[in-house]
Structure 1
Amino acid sequence: MDERCSKHERRELPRRKVALTLGVTCIFLLLASTGLRYLLLHRCSGEIGQGIKEPEDKNASLAEVEDHLILLTTTAWNEDDDTFQGKWYCHGKSCYHFSKEEKTWERSMVSCQDLQSSLLKIDTKEEQVFIQSKIKYNHWIGLIKVQEGRYPWQWLDGSPLSQKLNFQQSLSPVKCGHMRPSTIYTADCNHRFRYICEKVFSGPDN
């Protein structure tokens, strides 16, 4: 009887060793797999976030975060002679601010003044084409009707509207001008549109 038990134990011993070895190997592989997945995920997330600077205020609102991302993507359309400064798009001698909020013409004018600028004045046909290529909505500009007559429309600085610009006038008795993606048009000053501010290019920030 004892001899049979001894033979049985000798048979079981290799099986236990094999089972123990397999168990340890499985645990090791599981730990190694988990570690590799963590390292890979950490590296990928780091590369994705490299080009995006987190807002300094970690409690920043969703609107601020969205605005930050929009500013990053809009630099893609800048041409070689354009400069991008914060929320201003600089081209040639002028910098432009395209608002996202909608206001009346008068409130838009005040908002531009608060930014040490003025509502947009279009000097040339080339500038009009450039600005219109950047917008998809109606934007107030610094054009007003100051009198009745053949050339009643003027810019805020008192200069007349050039006849070379693509301009259409409404039949309604309205007194403010706005920019559309296709033309300069007129509208009631109390309408709420986005607006475009303009200031002289001062060079890159130091």
Structure 2
Amino acid sequence: MTSPTFILDDMLYILVLYMLSLVGRISSWLTCGRLMNSKERRTDMWLQYFLALLVFLNVHADDSDSFSIFEKWRLKCHAKRCAKGWVCSETSCYHFTEEKVTFTEALRKCREIRAELVEVNDEEEFQFLKSQGDHKHLPSDFWIALTDSFEEGKWVWMNTWNTASFKKWAPGQPDDAGHSEDCVHMCSGNSFKWNDIPCGTTRQFVCEK
């Protein structure tokens, strides 16, 4: 089942194409002082058909994957920049591991492949990672680069030292159980919402670049 899906960037893109067509016609009239000949009219007609087709494809994008045709093209182009074995989002490349390591080892191993342990900076990125879990691409339980090891209760991203502005804690978390839980993982058992655990625990991890 489909439903209309409009993406603002896509509609602006279509508008730009239309304006270029209009400018071409005005320029022809101003410089030549004449109307378009039959060949130019046919070219202009096919351009209008092409723009109409783009609008149709965008409006009737399949709601099941929620991507418009232009988003798919952008994602495909971005995917070419991600190395084999990495999963592409619109802004980043992700590498999902099977190896279980401590939090510190996860940081080191990601840097060894010129990446960073994943930071989840907004709802869009959280939903992307969650969707990978739903499609079985993502480990069921994995480290993210969030810790309060340096100041209890102050959660910072280890890669940038930025205080986390976006948080997605599981109910009742963080609880610092046993006063020893200073690192964070995402777990499918909590719908991939966050939980604090001891940094020396071994978990799978996700690298991002």
TM-score range, shorter chain: 0.5 to 0.7
Query: Is 1:153 aligned to 2:163, yes or no?
Result: no
* Count of residue pairs brought into register by the alignment: 119
**Contact 1:104 1:192 survives alignment (8 Å):** yes
Instruction: Tell me the equivalent position of 2:85.
Output: 87
Please point out which of 174, 186, 189 is paired with 1:179: 186
Q: Which amino acid counterpart does residue 153 of structure 1 have in structure 2?
A: W
The alignment yields a C-alpha RMSD, in angstroms, of 1.9
Please point out which of 168, 173, 181 is paired with 1:166: 168
**Contact 1:96 1:196 survives alignment (8 Å):** yes
Instruction: Tell me the equivalent position of 1:195.
Output: 205
1:171 shift after superposition: 3.5
Q: Which has the higher strand share?
A: 1
List runs of 5+ in structure 2 lacking aligned partners.
1-64, 134-138
Q: Which amino acid counterpart does residue 148 of structure 1 have in structure 2?
A: E
- Tell me the alpha carbon deviations over residues 78-129 of structure 1, each in whole angstroms, 9 at most, x when there is no partner: x732526311112112111110111111111111010101100111011111
The structure with more radius of gyration: 1
Aligned equivalents of 1:186 and 1:148: distance in 2? Answer: 12
Structure 1 SS opposite 2:132: coil
1:184 shift after superposition: 1.4
Please point out which of 126, 135, 146 is paired with 1:143: 146
**Contact 2:118 2:207 survives alignment (8 Å):** yes
Structure 1 SS opposite 2:162: coil
TM-score (norm 1): 0.53
**Contact 1:104 1:193 survives alignment (8 Å):** yes
Aligned equivalents of 1:166 and 1:121: distance in 2? Answer: 12
- Tell me the alpha carbon deviations over residues 148-196 of structure 1, each in whole angstroms, 9 at most, x when there is no partner: 24xx11101111112x431131331211111123201111111111001
**Contact 1:120 1:142 survives alignment (8 Å):** yes
Aligned-pair identity (%): 27
**Contact 1:102 1:195 survives alignment (8 Å):** yes
Instruction: Tell me the equivalent position of 1:74.
Output: none
Aligned equivalents of 1:116 and 1:170: distance in 2? Answer: 33
Instruction: Tell me the equivalent position of 2:36.
Output: none
List runs of 5+ in structure 1 lacking aligned partners.
1-76, 200-206
Aligned equivalents of 1:116 and 1:85: distance in 2? Answer: 12
- Tell me the alpha carbon deviations over residues 19-74 of structure 1, each in whole angstroms, 9 at most, x when there is no partner: xxxxxxxxxxxxxxxxxxxxxxxxxxxxxxxxxxxxxxxxxxxxxxxxxxxxxxxx
Q: Following superposition, which runs of at least 4 residues in structure 1 exceed 3 angstroms of deviation?
A: none
